[in-house]
Amino acid sequence: MNMSPLLHFSCRRITGALGLALTLWLAGCATSAPEPVTVISPPASTSPPPVSHIVSPPPPLDERPISLNPNASLGLTATTDIWERIRRGFAMPNLDDDFVRNREKWYASRPDYILRMTERSRPYLFHIVQELERRQMPTELALLPFIESAFNPYAVSSAKAAGMWQFMPATGKYFDLKQNLFHDERRDVLESTRAALDYLQKLYGMFGDWHLALAAYNWGEGSVGRALARNKAQGKPLTYSALNMPNETRYYVPKLQAVKNIVAQPEAFNTQLPLIQNHPFFKSVPIDRDMDVAVAVQLAGISLEDFKALNPSMNRPVILASSTPQVLLPWDNATTFEINLQNQAQQRLATWTAWQAPRTMKAEEAAALVDMNVAQLRSANGIPNNMMVKAGSTLLVHRKGQLDSDVSESIAANAQLALAPQIVLKRIMVTARKGDSLASLAARHGVSAANMIAWNKIKPNATLTAGQSLAVMVPFQSARTGTGAGAMARKRTTGAAHSKPGQASQTAKR
């Protein structure tokens, strides 16, 4: 698995606990190391606009406000450790079989892997536990992202599931996770958690059993429903363990159970859990003006790495107030950001804006229209060579001149970039047959009669004679560039041929 920059996230805030971290978490299959993921990083920004009167953040606080859910079963004493809070909310029936033993052994034998995952979860666990308690759901589910993505919000599976909860594009849209040019809410900390818990509640309502709900989260609700129907017809038990299911799903609930067991009794597995305190890690801060990410980082007094860890849904180096009305910042830095932002009331904070292509055009044409270097335009928008920008596409461009304004809500919400291969035409000569007309000859070669007239400079009512030669312009695919439709089709076919076994179940999942 490719690791995101979250590994070292805010380690400066942790006091003497990192050496204790020899714990758990698996995102791989039952018999091998976890499947690698792709880390997507937004393109680099240009130099941000200057900011002034920057207030430095205060030193980290040892204690921050503890926000407890009054409906949570935490007893009379508030916990200072998120692990104890999770333990007190365990509510799912335990699974006890050889698959669980297998996974416990797997985790215990990989302390380095466990440490990376545990540290990566630090910014997110408190919020997830809060949401589970608010919905009165079992707190074991706070451990599910360890199984799904190793708590990497930038994780992308081979089946294109994304985020720490691993939503497929279509399922994300079903649960109102917006996906456009500027951000992908499948990676958003708040929105993806909301959608995942919505989905889990829906599945529990369908099956009335948390183990079956989890199997459906992994395998798909239709697959679980059909497996239950087969068991019922055969007189077999209607339980998770009794189902005939793919190997991935067979190990899915045991993975979560093994993690739960280690969290419940770490000493029994000769391990210690690192201290993750029971208080909010981040705070939501409103944004009412477009702003470069680089500027937000400067105003908050944090690193780009830390900012991206809490705001992984952003695809571009600019924050659009119309579609991203808030950002998440470390608790100690949020106030600093708000003070510094007030001091920039008269300053422009964004060097980027959005522009829609009025027609299909080459990147060179688009760059000329927005007064931008074509190499910069390609880099900022991920436009390959020999590809054209289709009409209506939204491009990230420099903010200047007539383009010096915040991006509207309609453009931000619907921003998509559509590309098409650049078509090169070559002239060939064709021969008319007996009885041919302009229309029949044009149809035979896949062109229009109007084009035949223009290319050959003949009259619309011209009569063709057998053996007459006429010019036709046809698409030419250069072997060097490989950009035509045929080449693109071959690439898609090649990609499908190399799909890994088990991807179908992943696709069905989310």
Q: How far apart are the C-alpha atoms of 347 and 433, rounded to whole Å?
A: 71
Residue 337 tokens, joined: 């950001």
Token readout for 193 is 């958690």
CA 238 to chain centre: 35
Strand, coil or helix: 330: strand
The residues that bridge with 21 in the sheet, in sequence order, are 272
Give the Cα separation of 167 and 147 in Å (integer). 14
Q: How far is 313 from 206, CA to CA, in rounded Å?
A: 30
Count of other CB atoms within 10 angstroms of residue 477: 16
Asked if residue 322 lies in contact with residue 408, where contact means CB atoms within 8 angstroms, the answer is yes
- Could you say which of 131, 133, 140, 148 is catalytic? 148
Length of the chain: 510
Residue 277 CA to residue 85 CA, distance in Å, equals 10
How far is 221 from 200, CA to CA, in rounded Å? 11
Q: From CA 157, how far away is CA 28, in angstroms rounded?
A: 11
Task: Provide the residue type at 11 as one letter.
Answer: C
Give the closest residue to 140 by CA, choosing from 217, 225, 210.
210
In Å, how far are 11, 148, 276, 277, 330 from 16, measured between CA atoms? 10, 29, 11, 13, 20
Residue 317 near residue 350, CB atoms below 8 Å = no
Integer CA distances (angstroms), 206 to 200, 216, 222, in order: 10, 10, 11
Q: 358 and 299 in contact (C-beta within 8 Å)?
A: no
Whole-number Å distance between alpha carbons of 214 and 253: 7
User: Is the torsion defined by CA of 241, 242, 243, 245 positive or negative?
Assistant: positive
Q: Is 148 a catalytic residue?
A: yes
Q: List the one residue out of 164, 123, 167 whose CA is nearest residue 146.
A: 164
CB 273 within 8 A of CB 266: yes
- The CB density around residue 207, as the number of other CB atoms within 10 Å, is 19
Q: Which amino acid is at 137?
A: M
AA identity, residue 507: T
Q: Which residues contact 149 (CB under 8 A, 6 or more apart)?
A: 27, 37, 155, 163, 164, 165, 166
- Which tokens hold the place of 17? 């606990």
CA dist 256 and 146 (Å) reads 8
Catalytic residues: 148
